[in-house]
Amino acid sequence: MNAPAYNFAYLDEQTKRMIRRAILKAIAIPGYQVPFASREMPMPYGWGTGGVQVTAAILGPQDVLKVIDQGSDDTTNAISIRKFFAKTAGVATTTATEEATVIQTRHRIPEAALNENQVLVYQVPIPEPLRFLEPRETETRRMHALAEYGLMHVKLYEDIARFGHIATAYAYPVKVNARYVMDPSPTPKFDNPKMDNCPALQLFGAGREKRIYAIPPYTQVVSLDFEDHPFEPYRFNAPCALCAAENSYLDEIVTDDEGGRMFVCSDTDYCEGRQAAGHHGSLSAAPYKEKAQEASNG
């Protein structure tokens, strides 16, 4: 059987040009949703078809690609997209945030600080922050055009009225460059401050909704709030059980049916890096691993 001959990074050159034009426009108007002719990709909608198209359009042969899903490098989604580009573009892949030049992500921003040579590509399911408040697309576009964002505060008002605090924990709306209100994709609001004045270029691709938007490097990104209910990032109040990190975003893992649970870094690369550097949390297996190695050496 002949292996199919893919164009570099799967998409044909004309399609990549089209996507690059949309990306350029998105960078020129920070936070504005640029429509683009999204293609069918060999994966289902909801698996990152938008992010994959953006990555395909910006990838060069020298790039080093990292793909994360909920912070993890080894989930199905992350692995299959990484393999997809290893196969169709032949680019080097990595799990180390520092080594990557292009990082495609779903639902997280890596813990390690990003630099100017990196591009962060988000997979976006619903690009329209006003969607669940105003169902008409014609109306939401007009609201963006006229910067009528009172409605966004209605959502936050509802949160406080119902729960006593702003209970929106992910996809927390932000205002980009003091103009467009933007949905940062379903990242936890813990990650919102990382978007502000970030040295890396941030691109957002929504495949099903056919929208691309962007935050250029060093752009102001402000999370919306009320004067008397300011924005607060949320984090479980515990250290990571594996690497004892106090300042990373944690996943809660239920370990038995008697209320047992552990909190671990959602960013696996960050967590492994810390463990390799000798940080050990309360449930770390590292001492046993070292003992086992000593035993096999001895």
Partner 1 sequence: MADQDPLDNDEPLLVATSLSKSFGRIAACRHVSFSLYPGEVLAIVGESGSGKSTLLQLLSGQLAASAGHVSYRMRDGVARDLATLGEAERRFLFRTDWGFVHQDPAQGLRMAVSAGANVGERLMAVGWNHYGRIRDTASDWLTRVEIDTARIDDAPRTYSGGMRQRLQIARNLVTEPRLVFMDEPTGGLDVSVQARLLDLLRSLVAELHLAVIIVTHDLAVARLLSHRVMVMKGGRVIETGLTDQVLDDPREPYTQLLVSSILPP
Tell me if 195 sits within 8 A of 147, measured CB to CB.
Answer: no
| Region 161-190 residues binding partner 1, contact defined as CB under 8 A | 161-162
Judge whether 240 counts as a catalytic residue: yes
Map tokens 């009225």 to a residue.
Answer: 161
Strands 34-35 and 211-215, how do they pair? antiparallel
Based on the shown chain and the rule CB under 8 A, indicate whether residue 258 belongs to the binding site for partner 1. Answer: no
Judge whether 198 counts as a catalytic residue: no
Min dist CB 129 to partner 1, Å, is: 15
Active-site position among 198, 205, 265, 281: 265
Q: Which of 5, 138, 228, 294 binds partner 1 (CB under 8 A)?
A: 228
Quote the crossing angle between the two packed helices 13-28 and 49-58, to the nearest 10°: 100
Tell me if 116 sits within 8 A of 217, measured CB to CB.
Answer: yes
Which residues, at least 6 apart from 84, have a Cβ–Cβ distance to it below 8 Å? 10, 42, 43, 52
Min dist CB 180 to partner 1, Å, is: 15
By CB under 8 A, the count of residues binding partner 1 is 17
d(CA 124, CA 51): 7
Active-site position among 71, 243, 273, 281: 243
- Would you say 154 or 283 has its CB closer to partner 1? 154
d(CA 12, CA 57): 9
Q: Give the binding range for partner 1 (CB under 8 A) out of 78-86, 120-128, 227-235, 251-259.
A: 227-235
Min dist CB 138 to partner 1, Å, is: 13
d(CA 298, CA 132): 63
| Region 230-249 residues binding partner 1, contact defined as CB under 8 A | none
Min dist CB 132 to partner 1, Å, is: 9
Min dist CB 107 to partner 1, Å, is: 26
Based on the shown chain and the rule CB under 8 A, indicate whether residue 160 belongs to the binding site for partner 1. Answer: yes
Site string (120-159) toward partner 1, x via CB under 8 A: -------------x--------x---x-x-xx-xx--xx-
Judge whether 243 counts as a catalytic residue: yes
Q: Name the strand (E) or helix (H) holding 213.
A: strand 211-215
Q: Give the binding range for partner 1 (CB under 8 A) out of 107-115, 168-176, 194-202, 223-231.
A: 223-231
Inter-CA distances, 61 with 9, 64, 65, 102, 204, Å: 9, 8, 10, 12, 22
Based on the shown chain and the rule CB under 8 A, indicate whether residue 227 belongs to the binding site for partner 1. Answer: yes
Q: Spell out the long-range contacts of 10-18 with Cβ–Cβ below 8 A and sequence spacing 24 or more.
A: 10/41, 10/42, 10/56, 10/84, 10/85, 10/88, 10/89, 11/39, 11/53, 11/56, 11/57, 15/39, 15/57, 16/56, 16/57
Active site residues: 31, 240, 243, 265, 271
Interacting residue ranges for partner 1, rule: CB under 8 A: 133, 142, 146, 148, 150-151, 153-154, 157-158, 160-162, 226-229
